[in-house]
Chains A and B, each alone.
Chain A
């Protein structure tokens, strides 16, 4: 069974600085998707960035980028130029590529606080 581990329950960063959130996962599949979701106090889960395992290039979305290390099964999220609006819970998630594994498997989350 797949598992996702986020080892940092809470993190804090000053506005405009850079922060990296860690995520490791375990799977025997060779093709899969990885995601970072953001959940602000409003509770709405918002997709931040996605990575397809067969793509070697790390995904980037504006200030958000990932460091995907397939062999190490590591998928960290880097937030550059942190903004107050980035304050939220961040969840790393895994989804299988096909078959019956269409659901997302989430880590426990990292609570990120951006301080002025």
Chain B
């Protein structure tokens, strides 16, 4: 069974640009969550999608957005990039259903975004 796949693995963008990151969950997993990891702030929750609907959101500005497609693949978009957006972005998928949220989260290897 393939794991969680994140693309691209590395990305360099210029301040002010926008970026889209992709996450393909484990087959059959309908919940996808995104996290930002930085040396200073650690791991912070961005948002969670389930069945194409955002059902939980962290404390990030509106420049950070996401969506989920009918095949459960998810994308995360950051507009008007700032230097502080440089981070490792991790995606996690789980088998959580509408009534059972707390199942194990499986993580991808992340996308390393560098903003210059």
Interface residues of A (CB under 8 A from B): 33, 37, 42-47, 50, 91, 95-98, 100-109
Distance in Å from the Cβ of A47 to the closest Cβ of chain B? 6
Is B72 located at the chain interface by the 8 A CB criterion? Answer: no
Distance in Å from the Cβ of A27 to the closest Cβ of chain B? 14
B56 pairs with A47, CB closer than 8 A: no
A-B contact pairs, 18 of them (CB 8 A): A33-B102, A44-B107, A44-B109, A45-B90, A46-B107, A47-B105, A98-B101, A102-B31, A102-B55, A102-B96, A102-B101, A104-B33, A104-B43, A104-B92, A105-B45, A106-B42, A106-B43, A108-B42
Question: Which applies to chain A's interface (DSSP): helix, strand, loop or mixed?
Answer: loop
Interface size class on chain B is 20 to 34
In the bound assembly, the distance between CA atoms of A96 and B101 in angstroms comes to 9
B105 pairs with A104, CB closer than 8 A: yes
**In the assembled complex, which residues on chain B have CB atoms less than 8 Å from the CB atom of A33?**
102
User: B residues 39-95 with Cβ under 8 Å of A?
Assistant: 42-43, 45, 48, 55-56, 58, 88, 90, 92
Is B110 located at the chain interface by the 8 A CB criterion? Answer: yes
